[in-house]
Amino acid sequence: MREVRKLLGMEQALDIQRQAFLAMTRGRTVAAPNSWLRLPGERRGWLKLLAGYEETDGGLSVKVLARFPDNPTGSNLGSLLLLFDPDNGFPLAIMNGVYVTALRTGAGAGLATHVLAPDATRVGLIGTGIVAWHSLVAMRLTNPKLAELKAFSRSPERRNRFTRRAEAELGFASTAVPSVDEAVADVDVVVTATNAPEPVLFPEHIRPGLHVNAMGIRTEISPEAIARCVVIGDGREEAVEDGKFSVALSAGTVVVDEIGPDLGAVLDGVAVPGDPRERITLFDSSGVAIQDVVCARHVWRQAELLGIGTLVDLGLDDSP
């Protein structure tokens, strides 16, 4: 992971993620539906597979996520990202996907906030893990007016540590708060980045003019709250089949036709319905394969250029 960090930072991620979302909306990508394998029994573990192709740069990759919620905090998610040659299918690189996943997910929050809440100055965080951090970093870069932060997590130690870091490294005026109610009061942007199996954000927490970045597990937003929002998915199919919108759809609080344009379309200039002063927007981050494809391609190219990484003989030569 240390080598990947050297080769891909947030500023670069924001740029290549923007291009990835634009490529999606312009029909220059192909992706398989996100696939899940849930293990039976008490372990509650699962695998998630994301595979995609981006034709402009010829990126072809597969990511496998493994999550075991009962593992210790910080070690409950594993991920591998595999890059292939699009001309012959030969494996080009294998890399740790945990950092890439957090970085590209956070970049999505930054891009969404830039186009949906350009004048925001105050942000409230629910969750203080790796995705919350990278979302905050990205929003700081895309929305330099953001200056105030309130953060809540169930652990006082974690939320206090998070706000101290946000103040020291990002320059936020930061406050750790003991409840969701306090985290979302009087802010312009709310970020949910949790693994909560039950909703943490409800209709009483949202109001006209608010933007929500829903970055965590799909159950973290109540269906009734989603029904009050214009939902902007990272991808329409992913939001409908696998996102927070899908939960509201199953609950009957929304219908498919009510979903808004996806993020790539908004970045490409498509208008979002409603008066910005009155509407509530929600970026539904489900995770789309193309986000990983472009990151893997970038890391591999930089590694080749700088001579970083370990060459492994995979024994794939079938010649006699």
| 244-253 pLDDT tens trace | 999 999 999 9
Domains of the chain plus CATH, in order, are 2-100+289-306 (3.30.1780.10), 108-284 (3.40.50.720)
User: Apex CA 21: angle with CA 293 and CA 55, to 5°?
Assistant: 50
Residues 206-216: what's their mean pLDDT?
97
- Asked if 22 and 267 count as a contact pair (C-beta separation under 8 A), the reply is yes
In residues, how long is the chain? 320
For residue range 259-312, list pLDDT tens digits in order: 999 999 999 999 999 999 999 999 999 999 999 999 999 999 999 999 999 888
Q: For the chain, give the mean pLDDT.
A: 94
Least confident of 1-5, 210-214, 224-228: 1-5
Using a pLDDT cut of 70, give the percent of the chain over it.
96
Other beta carbons within 10 angstroms of residue 84's beta carbon come to 18
What is residue 74's predicted lDDT score, i.e. its pLDDT? 61
- Amino acid type, 34: N
Q: Which residues contact 18 (CB under 8 A, 6 or more apart)?
A: 111, 267
What is residue 316's predicted lDDT score, i.e. its pLDDT? 62
What is residue 145's predicted lDDT score, i.e. its pLDDT? 97
